[in-house]
Amino acid sequence: MQVTIDLPDNIANQLQAVNLSRRVLELIAADQYRQGQIGAAQVRRMLDFSSRWETYEFLKGEKAYLPYTEDDLELDGQAIRNVLAQE
């Protein structure tokens, strides 16, 4: 899919050094990840990263974190209790 964006000339001139196509794609990927619409694997494919670590570094740089809920905390706590009970 190709998308066209109209910018005022003075802003477009200021942004000439930026790869706008890439940056817009990055912003979309980070936003969709942040909203829980896509996962890290999809971000990796969208941005053609070579590793998941590169993907995680990108998401960290974009401050694209998924919310950590009380339910997540409870699940993690239960998983730790299960591991400790097996020892």
Nearest-angstrom CA–CA distance, 1 and 19:
17
Distance of alpha carbon 46 from alpha carbon 65, whole angstroms? 18
> pLDDT at position 60, please?
94
Is 27:58 a contact under the CB 8 Å cutoff? no
- Can you give the pLDDT at residue 13? 86
Predicted confidence at residue 14, as pLDDT, reads 86
pLDDT at position 42 is 96
Q: What is the pLDDT of residue 69?
A: 81
3-state SS string over 52-65? HHHHHHHHHHCCCC
Regions in the chain scoring below 50 on pLDDT: none
